[in-house]
Amino acid sequence: MVKNTMKIWLKKIKSKTKNITWTAWGIWYIDPPKDVSLDGYRIDNVIQYTDTVITIYFSIVILALIFFIFKYRTRPGHTAVYDKGDTKKHVLATIAMGLLVFFSIDTVIEAMSFRDLKEAFWNFPKGKNVVKVEVMPQQFAWNFRYPGSDGKFNTEDDVVPAQNLMHVPVNTPILIQIAPFDVIHSFYIPNFRVKQDATPGMVNAMWFQATETGKFEIACAELCGNGHYRMKGYLTVESQEAFEKWLADNAPQEDDDDWDDWDTEVDEDNREIPKEWGWTWKEIQ
Amino acid sequence: MSEHHEQTFWTKYIFSTDHKVIAKQFLWLGLFFLAFGGFQALLIRWQLAYPEQPLPWYLLGNLFYEGGLMTPDHYNVLFTMHGTIMIFWAITPMLIGAFGNFIIPLQIGAPDMAFPRLNMISFWTMFLASIVLLASYLLPEGAAAGGWTSYPPLSTPVGGIAGEGQTLWTLALTLAGTSTLMGAINYIITVVRMRAPGMTYFKMPLSVWGLWLTSIMNAIFVPIIAAGLILLLLDRTIGTQFFIAGGLATVEGGDPLLYQHVFWIFGHPEVYILILPAWGIVSELLSVFSRKPAFGAKVTVICMCTIVVLSSIVWGHHMYTTGMSPLLGKAFMFLTLLISIPSSIFFLNWLGTLWRGNLHFDPPMLFAMGVIWVFGLGGLTGLYNATVTSDIYLHDTMFVVGHFHYTMAASVLFGGLAAIYFWFPKMFNKKMNPLLGKIHFWVSFIPLNYVFFNMMVLGYAGQHRRLYNPSEYEFLAPISDLNISITIFAIILGFSQLIFAYNFINSIINGEKAEANPWKANTLEWTLEGPIPHGNFATTPTVYNGPHEYSNPAVKDRDWIAQSEPMPT
């Protein structure tokens, strides 16, 4: 009777848990989203280096711990060695090991990070081929603005596509400036390893370059209210021609009176759509 | 006569000025909120594993939500209150309130705290704060929902959170901060002024060092967060705009970033405020159960002091993605990484204590060794967040959640549980069941590691935090199974704490009477026969020995000598 009940329960548990990933160290076979950016590999490299080194150090600590547990466990006749560990030799040894950790992990990842920041993440692209985009998140959607054919923002020919849809050309540096309409948001595209907060009162900059075409998800990484979880956008990476065609399709029509047409006041989420962009491109340097 | 008796009851158990009673009051408060906040964690985990499916009966879904279904508003309340409660209402009262109160006067040989009445007021302010916090659940709009960091403008009425829950949260936290501050001043002065004769600073046990340094940090940094919270309260109630800018602002001059700086100037030291008592306690316990002096105790103390100084100048690493100036970003990164030097020295001293010891695996020792494991992982994974480039990707993902659960939840909680198992005989004069203690360790340790480690894996796979429904995103589809298995382990972890609850309460009621010094420890509290009277020591002890005199060859027949016992010549 008991056995049968047990069997039924076991079956139930088995059927419920059959397709679940059970992993003690899932990091070995769960990958981050595919990197499709020019510089994303730099971040992956820093993470990989840190993974490797800390695995080594942690393993040493745990092996030592297990060894000590076995070797120095209490048993009849076994006594501890009276050792305060405050001789010069001991202190120097611990400090040396502390410095070893610092120089083998910290200084290396620091050097990698400094190099990557200088060469890539904080080295904003300049030049004519750079595509500039203004991003204005709001509760709970992404607004994008392109400068149009004159290359300047806040002019008649600015392109403001439908919300949550961003298009960029492949293999071209994309320079973004971002400021929110209401609260703090964070522009996060996992496939590009980029993340940038949008804080009221500040215009922040970031850049990336796509190496593959496709459609990728944009998420908001900073809590912005109860719709935070569904504040999702799509980034379409396409060829230069397709991108130009898309820009032209979204260009303001003759009868458009700039913002008035776009301004539908209140949408189904009872969300105020911004009537004005409210800020504009800030030239850096 | 009966009136007199009742008065005694009130002054003895409720409005007591005895540090040992106040310690127990803090302990009960902390344990209550630990259960409360822990339960909320299970609800959060359920939602992440089975988004928008009704909660099962064992999570009491129907009791809280209509049809057992959680809405995004509920979810935001859950993680906000889970974080707030665990940090300020569970860990702080348990480690700093309960053990700070209990250990400090007993271990330094003092009759009580320097200011017993302030001590009592500190507890009752905390109690008031708890009532304010719990009352916010009863509001029609629900409790606070801005995250435990409550960044404005979201946490201001113009940012979308209009209910009074957020206001009460701000008020409750300010009150809790006031309570902490009163405690901190008390602890600092007690340690400075009331040490027994012969108790020099370096003869203080490491647990007192940890608690004392924590109190110094509390005294410095709690006023900063209190200032920030009061400004936020003004923004919420009388319409000032200290932290509002951009499209929502009607006047110029506010800055949301200012709040983030103020918050993290307090917020990063807060991590060390919580961990230092645990570190001190663990250093102490490893020495007791290895029957060996704490390895390099002076160096450990110097490391703790270094970490205190460094921790106050690294807050910017929480803000790498805010558009920080490159110079500032690099400086914060360098300073943050510097912390790994004292931390590794500190860590090696723990291993050094075990080295050539005589290890007794009682429950407090298991938990103390558990801290070596979980803090090892928690500390090392901090490197990813300290580095600007990897933090760009990992910031605000579940990786950060896993990391700070390892450092704050796992390490601090294991330190606290080790302390409970260790000092229980002195606090309640009863024994706890050691077998149940060992079972409790293993059923906590294994699921806890599964949950927190794989949280980091989730973050590595891209899952951002505070996410109501991961199934909204395609890039999160590969890890939906992992979310389920984590939740199953989290539920095991949560319900296995019932073993501890049973052991704790049953031991208080039915436990065997404990001897005065069950662990053969040498610090002053173990020289007292329980129950310890108000005023502690009949005669003020004189201290002759260091706090970790175990296996000293000068002592014959036993492997310890009390601090107040002259060393045989």
pLDDT, tens digit, 9 for 90 and up, residues B379-437: 999 999 999 999 999 999 999 999 999 999 999 999 999 999 999 999 999 999 999 99
- Shortest Cα–Cα distance, B52 to chain A (Å): 13
**Between the CA of residue B377 and those of A266, B344, B476, what are the distances in Å?**
49, 12, 25
Residue with tokens 């108790």: B199
Q: What is the pLDDT of residues B44-71, one digit of tens each?
A: 999 999 998 899 888 888 888 888 889 9
CB atoms within 10 A of CB B269: 27
Percent of chain B that is helix, strand, coil (3-state, to 5): 70, 0, 30
Rg (CA), chain B: 24
How many folded domains does chain B comprise?
A: 1
- What integer is the mean pLDDT of B320-343? 92
Judged against a pLDDT cut of 50, whether residue B1 lies above it is answered with no
- What integer is the mean pLDDT of B289-316? 94
Q: Alpha-carbon distance B427 to A143, whole Å?
A: 60
Q: Do A81 and B551 touch (CB under 8 A)?
A: yes
Q: Alpha-carbon distance A31 to B383, whole Å?
A: 20
Residue of B nearest to A20 (CA): B481
CB atoms within 10 A of CB A75: 8
Probe site for chain A from B304, B321, B371, B472 (most A CB atoms < 10 A): B321
Note the pLDDT of residue A273. 66
Note the pLDDT of residue B531. 87
pLDDT classification of A86: cutoffs 50, 70, 90: confident
Q: Which residues does chain B have within 8 Å of residue A80's beta carbon, measured at their own beta carbons? A: 290-292, 356-358, 550-551, 559
Of B247, B396, B548, the CB nearest to A221: B396
- What integer is the mean pLDDT of B251-260? 88
Of B247, B380, B469, the CB nearest to A200: B247
- What integer is the mean pLDDT of B474-492? 91
Q: Alpha-carbon distance B109 to B539, whole Å?
A: 10
Which residues make Cβ contacts (< 8 Å) with residue B309, sequence separation at least 6? none
Give residue B449's domain range. 17-527
- B5 lies in some domain: no
Q: Do A26 and B355 touch (CB under 8 A)?
A: no
Mean pLDDT check: name the lowest of A15-24, A56-65, A178-187, B450-459.
Answer: A15-24
Q: Do A62 and B161 touch (CB under 8 A)?
A: no
- What integer is the mean pLDDT of B290-308? 94
For the ranges A109-118, A155-164, A263-272, B65-74, the one whose mean pLDDT is highest = A109-118
Q: Alpha-carbon distance B561 to A69, whole Å?
A: 25
Q: What is the pLDDT of residues A237-262, one digit of tens each?
A: 999 999 999 999 988 876 555 555 45
Helix (H) / strand (E) element for B399: namely helix B398-404
Nearest to B317 by CA among B334, B341, B340: B334
User: Does any CB of chain B come closer than 8 Å to the CB of residue A195?
Assistant: yes
- What integer is the mean pLDDT of B343-365? 94
User: Does any CB of chain B come closer than 8 Å to the CB of residue A214?
Assistant: no
CA of residue A171 relative to chain centroid, distance: 20
Judged against a pLDDT cut of 50, whether residue B5 lies above it is answered with no
Q: What is the pLDDT of residues A20-77, one digit of tens each?
A: 655 555 455 678 899 999 999 999 999 989 988 999 999 999 999 999 999 999 999 8
CATH code (residue B489): 1.20.210.10
Q: Which residues does chain B have within 8 Å of residue A26's beta carbon, measured at their own beta carbons? A: 453-454, 457, 482
Note the pLDDT of residue B60. 85
Q: Alpha-carbon distance B524 to B539, whole Å?
A: 12
Judged against a pLDDT cut of 80, whether residue B280 lies above it is answered with yes
- Shortest Cα–Cα distance, B343 to chain A (Å): 8
Judged against a pLDDT cut of 50, whether residue B4 lies above it is answered with no
Probe site for chain B from A42, A59, A195, A218 (most B CB atoms < 10 A): A195
Q: Alpha-carbon distance B296 to B279, whole Å?
A: 14
Q: Do B460 and A30 touch (CB under 8 A)?
A: yes
- What integer is the mean pLDDT of B320-328? 90
- What integer is the mean pLDDT of A220-232? 92
- B555 lies in some domain: no
- B521 lies in some domain: yes
What does the DSSP 8-state code read for residue B512?
P
- B540 lies in some domain: no
Q: Do B457 and A94 touch (CB under 8 A)?
A: no
Of A83, A122, A226, the CB nearest to B292: A83
pTM: 0.92
The token duo for B367 is 């938990």
- Shortest Cα–Cα distance, A156 to chain B (Å): 22
pLDDT classification of B3: cutoffs 50, 70, 90: very low
Contact at 8 Å (CB) between B295 and A85? Answer: yes
- B309 lies in some domain: yes
- B562 lies in some domain: no
Q: Do B323 and A90 touch (CB under 8 A)?
A: no
Q: What is the pLDDT of residues B175-234, one digit of tens each?
A: 999 999 999 999 999 999 999 999 999 999 999 999 999 999 999 999 999 999 999 999
Contact at 8 Å (CB) between A121 and B392? Answer: yes
pLDDT higher at B569 or B68: B68
pLDDT higher at A151 or B170: B170
Helix (H) / strand (E) element for B30: namely helix B19-49
Q: Do A20 and B159 touch (CB under 8 A)?
A: no
Note the pLDDT of residue A210. 96
Q: Alpha-carbon distance A183 to A125, whole Å?
A: 28
Nearest to B363 by CA among B291, B414, B292, B427: B414
- B559 lies in some domain: no
- B48 lies in some domain: yes
Judged against a pLDDT cut of 60, whether residue B296 lies above it is answered with yes
pLDDT higher at B371 or B1: B371
- Shortest Cα–Cα distance, A169 to chain B (Å): 22
Q: What is the pLDDT of residues B484-505, one digit of tens each?
A: 999 999 999 999 999 999 999 9
Q: Do A30 and B254 touch (CB under 8 A)?
A: no
User: Does any CB of chain B come closer than 8 Å to the CB of residue A285?
Assistant: no
Note the pLDDT of residue B252. 77
Note the pLDDT of residue A272. 62
Q: Which strands form A141-145's sheet, in the order they lie side by side?
A: A141-145, A131-138, A173-178, A204-209
Beta strands in B352-482 (DSSP E): none
- What integer is the mean pLDDT of A259-285? 65
Average pLDDT, chain B: 92
Long-range contacts of A14-19 (CB under 8 A, 24+ apart): A17/B485, A17/B488, A19/B481
Contact at 8 Å (CB) between B399 and B459? Answer: yes
- Shortest Cα–Cα distance, A271 to chain B (Å): 11
Probe site for chain B from A70, A226, A280 (most B CB atoms < 10 A): A226
Q: Alpha-carbon distance B245 to A116, whole Å?
A: 32
User: Does any CB of chain B come closer than 8 Å to the CB of residue A248?
Assistant: no
Q: Alpha-carbon distance B378 to B385, whole Å?
A: 11
Residue with tokens 């299970």: B42
- What integer is the mean pLDDT of B148-169? 87
Query: H/E/C letters for each residue in B83-132?
Result: HHHHHHHHHHHHHHHHHHHHHHHHHHCCCCCCCHHHHHHHHHHHHHHHHH
Q: What is the pLDDT of residues B100-140, one digit of tens each?
A: 999 999 999 999 999 999 999 999 999 999 999 999 999 98
Q: What is the pLDDT of residues B522-568, one digit of tens each?
A: 999 999 987 898 889 999 999 999 999 999 998 888 889 999 999 88
Nearest to B485 by CA among B464, B455, B441, B443: B455
Size of interface A-B (CB pairs under 8 A): 335
Residue of B nearest to A77 (CA): B358
- Shortest Cα–Cα distance, A163 to chain B (Å): 17
- Shortest Cα–Cα distance, A28 to chain B (Å): 9
